[in-house]
Chains A and B, each alone.
Chain A
Amino acid sequence: MKQLKSWWQSPKQRRQLLTAISGLLILLALAGKYLLNQTNWHNGLMAAAALIAGSDIALRAWYSLRRRHISIELLVTIAAAGALIIGEYWEAAAVTFLFLFGAYLEARTLGQTRRILQGLLELAPTTAIVLRDGRQVEVMPHEVQPGETVLVKPGTKIPVDGDVIDGRSAVDESAITGESIPAEKVAGTAVYAGTVNQAGLLKVKATGVGADTTLARIIRRVEEAQEEKAPTQRFIERFARWYTPFIILLSGAAYLVTRDLELALTLLVIGCPGALVISTPVSIVAGIGRAAKGGILIKGGEYLENAGKISALALDKTGTLTIGQPVVTDVVVLQAAVAAGDNGELSVMEKNEQQALYWAAIAEAGSEHPLAQAIMAAVDADDLIPAADEFETFTGHGVQAVYLGHEIGVGTTGLMADLGIPVPAAAHQALDNLQAEGKTAVIVALDGSVIGVLGIADQLRPTAPEMIRRLQVVGLKKIVMLTGDNARTAQAIAGAAGIQDVRASLLPEDKLKMIRQLQAEGHVVAMVGDGINDAPALATADIGIAMGAAGTDVAIETADIALMTDDLLKIPEALQLSRATLNNIRQNVIIALVTVALLLAGVLLGKVHMAGGMLIHEASVMIVILNGMRLLRT
């Protein structure tokens, strides 16, 4: 009994029960009429079905009316009551049943599009183990203080944003980044709340808790995005606001002119602009939800619609197309050097290369220059790089150092001239070759003679050519690379990526001008960048896309589209999804408008009656929702 009472009090379950009973009665009535030829039964059962399903509708109509709100339920109640009065029992039963059943199906299906977000909400961790005074204390995740040490056991969710201070593990970050391969975590790497620690024990120093975590920001961002109305939606809602009053007036006018009560009531039945008002939101919720699942955060419906219209894409080079960290790509050995370290089992060739690098690294160890990092990283990890005995920097030219009595010089031809070291023709040849490939070349000299030349370059991300190819498949007409780097380096990178249009040696404000120029040519421009110096260009572009946003809150909050990872292939995916969503919205609006027009015409011409009208109406709503849901599976 208690069970029954709680059932009755839940509007959802009560409605399901009423819908089921009403449907059953309709079946019985139909059976009575066609199998047993009992017309009286039929009418009685149909009337009962209409009253049962209609009671819930009438109740809701009454609640709204009490608050001076003319609801769709009121129109349906009037129509059904009118049908019962004029003896159209079947029509009354069908209208009320279909109204309830349709709403049930629609809410259920819409729930699935909203569920992606539900999935994110469920990711939110529920407990955290904190080390306090050397003891493990279990608290709620938001009760952890920033700076405290959190213990994350294998197989559990990481409760806070933070940095690993001890331990090693693989963490499933798919919720945040959309990346299915677990990420390796060691001391010093960042972890995010809501991701799952798969293998080892991690000690994490909390940097963000509760609402101040990447997960919370993503949820907030996705919801705001889904709620923000797209231009199409605003237009449709203006239309819809007038539609219902118009239908009510039309119904009254139709009755006065034709004196046909059934026609007037049928008009009321189709007075809900259901498919129309739902056409845009359903596509947007599905599109933004699907994107979020793939680690793509889109700021809102308006941006989704704009992104669907993009015709030109501007890409920043350093850190976007390239990894953003220079590495040694070439070692040209000109003269075998004295061994400075033990190189074990290497071939003579590799030994000589390692020796040249090793000497260069000793000299560069004291330098802060980015190229120094690249040279040091290129030395075999087993070798410890000793500190030089003497060290001097020649700004813009290179470095000079002394180690165990050996004089080392690493830098340009200018440095060699300063040090009085002759540069052989073979070295000049190597310099020219490397520079022609867009690389930075440095000479390594030992004890007064050149031993080798190193080529250093920022590396193209391996997925860059594939991204460009996919962008072209998506139908992007213009792809431009923007960079502050010199033309030769820029050409080399662009050539490897497959980009024809390159604008090099640009200052940040030049990048902005390039975006404006593309817009002046009539393009809808998207700009992809990461650095702070791209901010003006990102803001000027119609769509600013920020990469690798998982750690940077500013990017999540401000970019029109934020990609959680550095995966370039997410760019064509984001554009393709935007286009698919835009198409989906258009299809839905057309389906809805055509249905409304056909229904109105059908009713006015007397071809569509009450039950049929309601059926077509509810079917069109379902079609629009199902069409929107297709986006979830792309």
Chain B
Amino acid sequence: MKTLLRSQDLSCPSCVAKIENALQGLKGVNDAKVHFNTGRIEVEHDPDTAPTAVLVQTVRETGYEAVVAAF
């Protein structure tokens, strides 16, 4: 499943690798891509092993607030 998160907190592109690493390290996440310019975070994941709430919490642990977006 593909989930889209949006964050308004990204202030320096160094956070891109940080958030991507954190998400990709999760069990059940196949791919994660952070777009610095727009603040979009795309995650390919299995909602059973890595539910959306866990994705948000993981991004939060790296220090950024993110919300799930419809598009």
Contact = CB atoms under 8 A, between A and B. Distances in A.
Contacts of B10: 107, 110
B65 A60 contact: no
A114 B3 CA distance: 20
Contacts of A11: 9, 60, 63-65
A103 interface: yes
Interface in B24-46: 25, 35-40
Given A211-B71, A285-B37, A60 B62 contact: yes
Contacts of A285: 37-38
Contacts of B71: 121, 124, 211, 216, 219-220
A272 B11 CA distance: 12
Which 9 residue pairs spanning A and B have beta carbons closest together? A107-B11, A106-B11, A227-B35, A60-B63, A226-B37, A277-B13, A12-B65, A67-B21, A103-B11
Contacts of A56: 63
Contacts of A68: 21
Given A60-B62, A67-B25, A12 B39 contact: no
A577 to B, nearest CB: 17
A272 B12 contact: yes
A110 B37 CA distance: 9
B17 interface: yes
Nearest to B35: A227
B8 interface: yes
B13 to A, nearest CB: 5
A223 interface: yes
Q: Describe B's contact surface by its main secondary structure.
A: loop
B62 A64 contact: yes
B9 A107 contact: yes
B2 interface: no
Given A69-B17, A272-B14, A227 B38 contact: yes
B14 to A, nearest CB: 5
Contacts of B35: 223, 226-227
A69 B18 contact: yes
Nearest to B40: A223
Contact of B8 (A72, A107, A278): A107
B8 A114 contact: yes
Nearest to A69: B21
Contact of A10 (B8, B61, B65): B65
Interface string B52-71: 00000000111111000111
A588 to B, nearest CB: 14
B69 to A, nearest CB: 8
Interface of A: 9-12, 15, 56, 59-60, 63-64, 67-69, 71-72, 103-104, 106-107, 110-111, 114, 117, 121, 124, 211, 216, 219-220, 223, 226-227, 237, 240, 272, 274, 277-278, 281, 284-285, 621
Contact of B12 (A111, A124, A274): A274
- Candidate in B39, B64, B70 with the most chain A CB atoms within 10 angstroms: B39
B57 to A, nearest CB: 9
A278 B12 contact: yes
B61 A103 contact: no
A471 B18 CA distance: 45
A298 B17 CA distance: 27
A240 B17 CA distance: 13
A106 B12 contact: yes
B37 A284 contact: yes
A63 B22 contact: yes
Nearest to B21: A67
Given A216-B71, A226-B38, A285-B38, A71 B9 contact: no
Contacts of A103: 11-12
A8 to B, nearest CB: 12
B22 A67 contact: yes
Contacts of A110: 10-11
Pick the most buried of B11, B13, B61, B70: most chain A CB atoms within 10 A of its CB: B11
B40 A12 contact: no
A56 B9 CA distance: 15
A487 B68 CA distance: 59
Contacts of B22: 63, 67
Nearest to B57: A9
Given A63-B63, A104-B11, A107-B9, 7 more contacts: A60-B62, A64-B21, A71-B18, A107-B8, A124-B71, A281-B13, A281-B36
A68 B71 CA distance: 32
B37 A278 contact: no
A277 B12 contact: yes
B25 to A, nearest CB: 6
Contacts of B18: 60, 63-64, 67, 69, 71
A63 B60 CA distance: 11
Contacts of A227: 35, 37-38, 40
A114 B12 contact: no
26 contacts: A10-B65, A11-B9, A11-B63, A11-B65, A63-B62, A64-B18, A67-B18, A69-B21, A106-B12, A107-B8, A111-B8, A114-B38, A114-B39, A117-B38, A124-B71, A211-B71, A216-B71, A223-B40, A227-B35, A272-B12, A281-B13, A281-B36, A281-B37, A284-B37, A285-B37, A285-B38
A219 B38 CA distance: 11
A239 B60 CA distance: 29
Contacts of B11: 103-104, 106-107, 110
A621 B60 CA distance: 24
Nearest to A229: B37
Nearest to A13: B65
A263 B59 CA distance: 34
Nearest to B13: A277
A472 to B, nearest CB: 33
